[in-house]
A and B are shown apart, each in its own frame.
Chain A
Amino acid sequence: EAEVAQSPRYKITEKSQAVAFWCDPISGHATLYWYRQILGQGPELLVQFQDESVVDDSQLPKDRFSAERLKGVDSTLKIQPAELGDSAMYLCASSLDPGALRGYTFGSGTRLTVV
């Protein structure tokens, strides 16, 4: 079964440092999402791409977060500088079309700990 690949699985970084996460969606999935899940809460959408274009980044803290999907395939999410409150699970998901009723396919996530 096709999977969404994410790396790294775990990341520990000091505050004020830069950190980056990578996601490779399922082949052919035009829509890609980055979610953040803080412990005890549900996933929160950070950014949505349709091919290489950003469709929604209204919840992305743009002063420190950036996301790109240059060729409309894999994507990178960056945080600079990292803050203690950024500690969370960062989930990437993809789908054939936006908001597909079949749901998104999520990757296993990157667990970020900022110390």
Chain B
Amino acid sequence: DQQVKQNSPSLSVQEGRISILNCDYTNSMFDYFLWYKKYPAEGPTFLISISSIKDKNEDGRFTVFLNKSAKHLSLHIVPSQPGDSAVYFCAAGRGTYKYIFGTGTRLKVLA
């Protein structure tokens, strides 16, 4: 049973436009959520996080939105740049313990 799901395996966006990556979770006990970015042949790199007491967290071009009632979070990248092309993983945890990762979404930003 997959507790963290990223239903879109891939996404293509034009440079300068908004990229929206989605993530759904099933466990209502999760209260911390992270997004990681992964380039080929490298380990995942932490991008941005949000706790369940917030519904939005912003860091530069990256914004994460959390909808607790829908058990859904999304990552918005505005404006998208070719260097953003990577695989993005969301991760969820309870009490900041044992994060469970989604299967990833491959983002391709077209120049």
* Chain A residues close to B by CB (< 8 Å): 4, 6, 40-45, 48, 56, 91, 93, 97-109
27 contacts across the A-B interface (CB closer than 8 A): A6-B43, A41-B104, A42-B100, A42-B102, A42-B103, A42-B104, A43-B89, A44-B101, A91-B43, A93-B43, A97-B96, A98-B96, A99-B32, A99-B93, A99-B98, A99-B99, A100-B96, A101-B34, A101-B49, A101-B51, A103-B36, A104-B46, A105-B46, A106-B36, A106-B44, A107-B43, A109-B43
* Chain B residues close to A by CB (< 8 Å): 4, 6, 32, 34, 36, 41-47, 49, 51, 89, 91, 93, 95-104
Q: Cα distance A42–B49 when bound, in Å?
A: 17
Q: Are A106 and B103 in contact (CB under 8 A)?
A: no
Given contacts A106-B44, A109-B43, contact A45 B98 (CB under 8 A): yes
Residues on A with beta carbons closer than 8 Å to the beta carbon of B46: 102-105
Residues on A with beta carbons closer than 8 Å to the beta carbon of B51: 101
Report which of A91, A97, A103, A107 forms a contact with B49, defined as CB distance below 8 A. A103
Residues on A with beta carbons closer than 8 Å to the beta carbon of B34: 101, 103
Beyond A42-B89, A106-B43, 9 additional pairs, beta carbon < 8 A: A4-B43, A40-B103, A43-B44, A48-B98, A99-B97, A101-B51, A104-B99, A106-B36, A109-B42
Residues on B with beta carbons closer than 8 Å to the beta carbon of A93: 43
Residues on A with beta carbons closer than 8 Å to the beta carbon of B97: 98-99
Residues on B with beta carbons closer than 8 Å to the beta carbon of A100: 96
Nearest CB in chain A to that of B94: its residue: A99
Q: Cα distance A4–B46 when bound, in Å?
A: 13
Give, as a whole number of angstroms, the nearest-CB distance from A41 to chain B. 5
Q: Are B42 and A108 in contact (CB under 8 A)?
A: yes
Residues on B with beta carbons closer than 8 Å to the beta carbon of A106: 36, 43-45
Give, as a whole number of angstroms, the nearest-CB distance from B29 to chain A. 13
